[in-house]
Chain A
């Protein structure tokens, strides 16, 4: 089992809290999240809209907009091995001697120099809407070149040369010409490729992708996913991929974290989570995905109710009021701790953690594996941190 000094670990999130101050008090958007991200692997964070997955991603780089702010926990960026040779030629000698201690990003000033050094260099991000995430009045090359020049002492011409090469790498045809295009002249898929090129410009060790394919059509979506997988293979970077699309998860994930109302309710290797979901919420999520070969007329199961107001969350288990396995007197009073069950870590009283003897897990869909899922990558051992 891995320990804190696991050389593969790139980023470790511990007990992260992010709150939004509103007229009606403080709303916890991220409520004690733990995650571990390893190099060369993809962690998928899934959950319904509003469960806090995007905020979690932004909190890592301290990019939460006011009135939100990170209020607690640690985001530990582990020192990388000496950065490898840079195929893009941009890194050069600028890299400072690698620190040996993990750097706590959550403790840094959101506007300070230290966090800026991490942004875009060690950890970079791509976003949901490539149209809105690129400046429409600056040329593509300018925007990529800028990302290079922030962290590397290269001139404009050199930055442009690197930008052209990066554009070629992400599969943009005619990079020599399109480097001078404006984003509004490109298609949605092309724009997302530009975003990826920009994110890769400084050879980050971790790429955070916040629903990068949601706004794209299915074909483009597949291309972008392939591109990301290929880039990951070449460079061995870690990817944190945020999505609400279970199909995408099945395709690319090594590890999965399921979020509900600001908490990670279950995390583990993709096989454990998909084939043997523990948390009732995970089970319900998987059941609500339509699959080929099902009975035609069968009604697609939906999770009843809707996500409660984050400012007014139920006591005990946050999923309690929508849970089919709700245990009165227990689930509404005791907040479930994280317990280990069958290779996953789950926040559910069904698997222990309460004083009373938990009822045996009622089998819902736990055993029903998805016959249709694509071949998976090696299941990971779950980190015990």
Chain B
């Protein structure tokens, strides 16, 4: 198992490198840079731009250096000093801007995954065991609708319902009275109480997908001969189901985390923008629109890396859960 963990960690290195490249390229792709946007802005307001000031700024941010040099300066700063560079927009260190928001994003993603599992597991098992029952049809239909509804649409609907029927606008995750306080129990409870609506919205599509995966897998497994073997031993039906087919169908269920996670992170960004939560979403959006490259790059890099870690954790969980995978990978190693 330890060899497996080490091998998977080593695998992550090139992937992380690739993510950092992609993040960097995305920042570099748009023609021009923050400075040209800034100058255009000033010019539009009729202010003249001092050439020496521009040169000073270019010098400071190394905007005229070759791309490779810029990249290595950027990634080197992150790796060696945890320095993600400066945000042009806020005139502050990027690292001072992102970590609070990323923390909330991670909390949202983890809460969403847990909720998706908690909901999807019993519903999926029920739907498969009671196939073609009214309950199965109802859940299947709800699942399809959940998959088909864009989550920004769901968020908008929630906003509308909250506004029209409860007369309040959906606020952020941290209530105003805790906005500036340090983290304490009250603040945590406050966050949790504000968290559930976004978690439900973000989790809908993932939960629906998980239910369908579990149901399909379990339906396949229920017809396998080993289930009959278990019945032929004289085991009670519920024990037959839980010990054998459910256990087997949980393997693909666990491995889905790997691909549900990127979706959840993405959904989190969308929903946060609509609900204007204090997470990565709105800030990333703003950074992209203003070509605030270090800020946007930091977000994409950190979100990508965290997703990778999440995928790794789900892989390890799967190896722990399923001896076939554990043994196959141990042999490979």
- Residues of chain A at the chain B interface (Cβ within 8 Å): 58, 61, 63, 65, 111, 116-121, 124-125, 127-129, 132-138, 146-147, 150-151, 182, 184-185, 195, 198
The 5 closest A-B pairs by CB, nearest first: A119-B234, A120-B234, A120-B233, A133-B225, A132-B225
B219-248: which have CB < 8 Å to A? 223-226, 228-237, 243-244, 247-248
**Would A133 and B234 count as touching, CB distance under 8 A?**
no
Partner of B244, one of A63, A135, A195: A135
**Would B223 and A132 count as touching, CB distance under 8 A?**
no
**Would B229 and A121 count as touching, CB distance under 8 A?**
no
Docked Cα-Cα span, A184 to B331, in Å, equals 13
**Would A151 and B229 count as touching, CB distance under 8 A?**
no
A198 proximity list for chain B (CB < 8 A): 229, 233
**Would B233 and A119 count as touching, CB distance under 8 A?**
yes
Partner of A63, one of B232, B235, B251: B232
Contact A127/B228 with A135-B248, A137-B324 known, Cβ cut-off 8 Å: yes
Q: How far is the CB of A216 from chain B (nearest CB, A)?
A: 15
Q: How far is the CB of B327 from chain A (nearest CB, A)?
A: 7
B236 proximity list for chain A (CB < 8 A): 116
Contact A136/B234 with A127-B225, A127-B228, A129-B225 known, Cβ cut-off 8 Å: no
Sample of 18 more A-B contacts, CB < 8 Å, known A58-B228, A137-B322: A63-B232, A111-B237, A119-B231, A119-B232, A127-B229, A129-B225, A134-B226, A134-B229, A135-B229, A135-B243, A135-B248, A136-B323, A137-B251, A137-B323, A137-B324, A151-B234, A185-B327, A198-B229
Docked Cα-Cα span, A150 to B229, in Å, equals 13
Contact A135/B230 with A182-B323, A184-B327 known, Cβ cut-off 8 Å: yes
**Would A137 and B248 count as touching, CB distance under 8 A?**
yes
Q: Report how many A-B pairs have Cβ atoms within 8 Å.
A: 76
B251 proximity list for chain A (CB < 8 A): 137
A117 proximity list for chain B (CB < 8 A): 234
Q: How far is the CB of A275 from chain B (nearest CB, A)?
A: 35
Docked Cα-Cα span, A124 to B231, in Å, equals 10
B275-333: which have CB < 8 Å to A? 322-324, 327
Q: How many residues of B contact A (CB 8 A)?
A: 23
Q: Which residue of B lies closest to A115 (CB)?
A: B234
A119 proximity list for chain B (CB < 8 A): 231-234
**Would B233 and A182 count as touching, CB distance under 8 A?**
no
What are 9 A-B residue pairs whose CB atoms fall within 8 Å in the complex?
A120-B232, A133-B225, A135-B243, A136-B323, A137-B251, A137-B323, A147-B233, A150-B234, A198-B233
Docked Cα-Cα span, A138 to B247, in Å, equals 10
A127 proximity list for chain B (CB < 8 A): 225, 228-229
Q: Which residue of A lies closest to B226 (CB)?
A: A135
Q: Which residue of B lies closest to A123 (CB)?
A: B232
Docked Cα-Cα span, A124 to B235, in Å, equals 12
A120 proximity list for chain B (CB < 8 A): 232-234
| Binary per-residue interface labels of chain B (241-275) against chain A in the complex, 1 for a CB within 8 Å, 0 otherwise | 00110011001000000000000000000000000
**Would A195 and B229 count as touching, CB distance under 8 A?**
yes
Contact A133/B324 with A111-B237, A151-B234 known, Cβ cut-off 8 Å: no
**Would B229 and A133 count as touching, CB distance under 8 A?**
yes
Docked Cα-Cα span, A195 to B233, in Å, equals 11
**Would B229 and A118 count as touching, CB distance under 8 A?**
no
**Would A121 and B323 count as touching, CB distance under 8 A?**
no
Contact A150/B237 with A129-B225, A135-B244 known, Cβ cut-off 8 Å: no
**Would A118 and B234 count as touching, CB distance under 8 A?**
yes
B228 proximity list for chain A (CB < 8 A): 58, 63, 65, 127, 133
Q: How far is the CB of A185 from chain B (nearest CB, A)?
A: 7
Docked Cα-Cα span, A198 to B228, in Å, equals 13
A116 proximity list for chain B (CB < 8 A): 234-236
**Would A150 and B226 count as touching, CB distance under 8 A?**
no
Docked Cα-Cα span, A129 to B324, in Å, equals 18
Q: Which residue of B lies closest to A64 (CB)?
A: B228
Docked Cα-Cα span, A43 to B225, in Å, equals 23
Docked Cα-Cα span, A58 to B226, in Å, equals 14
**Would A150 and B235 count as touching, CB distance under 8 A?**
yes
The residue among A124, A125, A127, A137 with the most chain B CB atoms within 10 A of its own CB is A137
Q: Which residue of A lies closest to B224 (CB)?
A: A132
Docked Cα-Cα span, A117 to B235, in Å, equals 9
A61 proximity list for chain B (CB < 8 A): 232
Partner of B324, one of A128, A136, A195: A136
Q: How far is the CB of B228 from chain A (nearest CB, A)?
A: 6
**Would B233 and A146 count as touching, CB distance under 8 A?**
yes
B226 proximity list for chain A (CB < 8 A): 132-136
The residue among A128, A129, A147, A198 with the most chain B CB atoms within 10 A of its own CB is A147
Docked Cα-Cα span, A137 to B251, in Å, equals 10
**Would A125 and B244 count as touching, CB distance under 8 A?**
no
Partner of B231, one of A63, A138, A184: A63
**Would A124 and B232 count as touching, CB distance under 8 A?**
yes
**Would B324 and A182 count as touching, CB distance under 8 A?**
yes
Q: How far is the CB of A111 from chain B (nearest CB, A)?
A: 5
A182 proximity list for chain B (CB < 8 A): 323-324, 327
B233 proximity list for chain A (CB < 8 A): 119-120, 124, 146-147, 150, 198
Docked Cα-Cα span, A134 to B232, in Å, equals 12
Q: Which residue of B lies closest to A183 (CB)?
A: B226
Docked Cα-Cα span, A81 to B155, in Å, equals 71
A195 proximity list for chain B (CB < 8 A): 229
B235 proximity list for chain A (CB < 8 A): 116, 146, 150
Docked Cα-Cα span, A184 to B243, in Å, equals 18
A111 proximity list for chain B (CB < 8 A): 237
Partner of B232, one of A65, A125, A132: A125
B224 proximity list for chain A (CB < 8 A): 132
The residue among B234, B247, B322 with the most chain A CB atoms within 10 A of its own CB is B234
Docked Cα-Cα span, A146 to B240, in Å, equals 11
| Binary per-residue interface labels of chain B (44-82) against chain A in the complex, 1 for a CB within 8 Å, 0 otherwise | 000000000000000000000000000000000000000
Q: How far is the CB of A296 from chain B (nearest CB, A)?
A: 40
Docked Cα-Cα span, A377 to B11, in Å, equals 64
Docked Cα-Cα span, A315 to B228, in Å, equals 34
Docked Cα-Cα span, A123 to B10, in Å, equals 53
